[in-house]
Amino acid sequence: MKPAKLFAWLPGLLALAAALATTLAPGPVRGFEMDRFGRTPVLEGGRIKPLDSVARNALLMIRSKQSVPYLGRDLGPDEWILDVLFRPEAADAQPVFVINDPDVLGLMGIRQSANRYFSFNDIAPHLQEIQAQAMAARDLESVQRSRFQNAVANLFERLVLFNNLENSVQLADSAGLYAELQAPGGTQSLQRRQSLAQAARFRILPPGPGQGPDAWQSTGEALLALGPAGPPPALAALALAGAGYRAGQPEAFNRGVAELQALTANLRPGALRHANAEILFNRVQPFYLGMVIYVATLLVLFASWLWRPDLLQPAAFSLLAAGAVVHSAGLVSRILLQGRPPVTNLYSSAVFVGWAAVILGVVLERMYRKGFGTAVAAAAGFASLIIAHHLAMEGDTMEMMRAVLDSNFWLATHVVTVTVGYSGTFLAGIIAIAYTLRKHLAPDPDPATTRTLVDMTYGIVCFALLFSFVGTVLGGIWADQSWGRFWGWDPKENGALLIVLWNAIILHCRWGDYIREKGLMACAIFGSIITSLSWFGVNMLGIGLHSYGFMDKAFWALAWFIFSQLALIALCLAPRRFWAPRTSNS
């Protein structure tokens, strides 16, 4: 292989090697096999998942990050959940609650500063006030709530989640599960066990032999059902692990965890296999990794426009390919873990829109080889994964499907096709943006490349029309099958129809020669606005049109996006370098 070719593939291979390295399991922390504990399968939110997933999702919801800095170290999700479950006094001191709203801070007598993270102990003195305010907010419909009320209701929900987690295996203010098992029965003990069963966020004890697959129990439920035969072995093992962790004895903890795992492997081998697979997915964080690789791609590509394009452009492409591999691997893992087609909720639609755009971009780059395919693919991949990253704060991204959506056939056909239509429309918009920037920034844009960009946009608009139309129609058929009407002018349906209509308008204007190069590009950028509105805008419509509740973060993000696209349309239509002074003969 020629050295230049090798150089081109090197960055991509390095990125893949780095991705592989993240699959390695971390070692014990201070002698505790925390990773092993994180693999414990539990039943939460209607599905089996490793405890590690519960911890990560909770941390994302409470803190918007997957780790907690504490006493000069970064606690991972497994260590954090161990503290929450077995050392609540330590967990209460960790700064896990992110609070951005100045009025909520003001409620607690805190001035807004660079520190946005607070521990439960910081908040505890103001609990009653927060609860009262949240209850007042809860009585209002979400459309009528003010920003403060939304923020305080949200903080209260996170406090409830934290409290439920602390009381999922043992009561936070009790002597612990081990002591509870030794405790003599009685009214007090019964009360404790009942409140434990009520508060539990997840069910950690696998069903015994001969029980149904849904018969998982929380420790509270198991304690209430305790018979003369003594505690079930899994409960005893869990108690041992908890006591060991609390007392700082790694051997006892590790022995308890190993026992619990062996028991689960024996009783529910499928659950343990699933948990092991999901934990690998959690550890790699393929979509975060993909985001990083796409940024690297963009940087290398920008550099290629300044220096040695012959070397750097293929290098950027190899990085893009590596990003696409990681992104695809993540997507496939989700499909396998969930046993569902790729798009099941807003989060996964963002992941999938980006993925389809990246694949289209790779195809375009192979066809035209000008670097633009790489640029738009990396930009689309990065942008959609950023959006997905923010959507992940809502909770478990592999949540169960509500009754009417529970149809793999329609999820696989209608939802996927419509989402590919979104990808196409966005990609056309991004190519048009690349055209716009190049038009004004490139010192001497050659007409052949311009022609290529126009061809690419035209082709992608055709592609987007095909997919958005077929997807919309399949949606109509699904609606006819499940609700008895093909078309109901529902906001989400209308959103899809708008995309179809807009792409059809672009193509008809082009065929009638009413728009040419510039017009086509401006229309393609407008397509991104329409798509963003039908993707996210209609979801906000439900929240309300003329209310404070409407003005949440997503609304402003969407407003800024639309504003930026409008500015780009203006820039696209403006004469080349309109700001520069013109000489008379150029």
Partner 1 sequence: MIRRFAVRCWILLASLQVTIVSLVLLMALVVLCTLAQTELGTLGAVNAYMRSWLVMRQLQGLPFRLPLFPGGALVGLVLVANLSAALVRRFDFNPRKFGLWVVHAGLILLVAGEFVTGAFQMDARMTIEQGQTVDYLESYHQMELAVSDLTDPAHTEEYGIPDSRLKEGAVIALPGTPLTLKVKRFYVNAALSPRGPNDPPSLADRGVGAGVTLTEAPPAASDKEVNATSAFVEPVAGGVSYGTWLVSTVLGAPQTFIHEGRTYLLSMRPRRTYLPYSVTLRKFSHDIYPGTDIPKNFSSLVHLSNPARGEQRDVLIYMNQPLRYDGKAFYQASYGKGDTLSVLQVVSNPGWLLPYLSCALITLGLLLHFGTTLFNAIKRRQEQEAV
In sign, the C-alpha dihedral spanning 461, 467, 470, 473 is: negative
Alpha-carbon separation of residue 187 from 15, 191, 224 (angstroms): 60, 6, 12
What distance lies between CA 241 and its chain's CA centroid?
32
Whichever of 325 and 509 has its CB closer to partner 1, that residue is: 509
Query: Is 484 an interacting residue with respect to partner 1 (CB under 8 A)?
Result: yes
CA 330 – CA 397 distance, rounded (Å): 13
Whichever of 331 and 456 has its CB closer to partner 1, that residue is: 456
Q: Which of 37, 162, 502, 536 binds partner 1 (CB under 8 A)?
A: 502
Q: Which of 117, 148, 288, 486 binds partner 1 (CB under 8 A)?
A: 486
CA 85 – CA 212 distance, rounded (Å): 27
Q: Which of 146, 407, 449, 564 binds partner 1 (CB under 8 A)?
A: 407
What b-and-e string marks burial along 290-325, b requiring 16 or more CB atoms within 10 Å of the CB?
Answer: bbbbbbbbbebbebbeeeeeebbbbbbbbbbbbbbb
CB of 450 to partner 1, least distance (A): 17
Whichever of 30 and 402 has its CB closer to partner 1, that residue is: 402
Encoded one letter per residue, x for contact with partner 1 by CB under 8 A and - for no contact, window 180-219 reads ----------------------xx----------x-x---
CB of 554 to partner 1, least distance (A): 18
CB of 484 to partner 1, least distance (A): 4
Decide: 55 and 81 in contact? Cβ < 8 Å: yes
Whichever of 381 and 495 has its CB closer to partner 1, that residue is: 495
Query: Is 363 an interacting residue with respect to partner 1 (CB under 8 A)?
Result: no
DSSP 474-540: HHHHHHHHHTS-S----HHHHHHHHHHHHHHHHHHHHHTTSS-HHHHHHHHHHHHHHHHIIIIIHHH
CB of 510 to partner 1, least distance (A): 11
CA 109 – CA 103 distance, rounded (Å): 9
Binding span for partner 1 by CB under 8 A among 344-352, 419-427, 441-449, 509-517: 509-517
Q: Which of residues 437-466 bind partner 1 (CB under 8 A)?
A: 455, 459, 462-463, 465-466
Q: Which of 124, 190, 404, 559 binds partner 1 (CB under 8 A)?
A: 404
Helix (H, G, I), strand (E, B) or coil at 365: helix
User: Token digits for 118?
Assistant: 């607070």
User: Token digits for 211?
Assistant: 């029980």
Other Cβ atoms within 10 Å of 498 Cβ, number = 19
CA 376 – CA 456 distance, rounded (Å): 11
The DSSP call for residue 71 is: T
Q: Which of 4, 477, 559, 567 binds partner 1 (CB under 8 A)?
A: 477
CB of 491 to partner 1, least distance (A): 5
CA 28 – CA 260 distance, rounded (Å): 17
Q: Which of 80, 118, 478, 535 binds partner 1 (CB under 8 A)?
A: 478
Q: Which of residues 34-73 bind partner 1 (CB under 8 A)?
A: 43-47
End-to-end CA gap in the chain: 47
Q: Residue 484, class by beta-carbon neighbours within 10 Å (0-12 exposed, 13-18 middle, 19+ buried)? A: exposed
Whichever of 183 and 541 has its CB closer to partner 1, that residue is: 541
Q: Which residue, chain included where needed, has tokens 């969407």?
A: 558
Whichever of 121 and 482 has its CB closer to partner 1, that residue is: 482
Encoded one letter per residue, x for contact with partner 1 by CB under 8 A and - for no contact, window 144-173 reads ------------------------------
Whichever of 292 and 509 has its CB closer to partner 1, that residue is: 509
Closest by Cα among 99, 75, 137, 57 to 391: 57
The count of residues interacting with partner 1 (CB under 8 A) is 58
Q: Which of 14, 262, 538, 554 binds partner 1 (CB under 8 A)?
A: 538
Q: How many Cα neighbours within 13 Å face the side chain of 486?
A: 3
Helix (H) or strand (E) holding 385: helix 372-391
Whichever of 409 and 560 has its CB closer to partner 1, that residue is: 409
Whichever of 100 and 408 has its CB closer to partner 1, that residue is: 408
Query: Is 552 an interacting residue with respect to partner 1 (CB under 8 A)?
Result: no
What distance lies between CA 227 and its chain's CA centroid?
43
Q: Which residue, chain included where needed, has tokens 């990609």?
A: 427
CB of 550 to partner 1, least distance (A): 11
Binding span for partner 1 by CB under 8 A among 115-123, 228-236, 298-306, 406-414: 406-414
Residues engaged in binding partner 1 (CB under 8 A): 43-47, 202-203, 214, 216, 399-400, 402-404, 406-407, 410, 455, 459, 462-463, 465-466, 469-470, 473, 476-478, 480-491, 494-495, 497-498, 501-502, 504-505, 508-509, 511-512, 514, 538, 541, 544-545
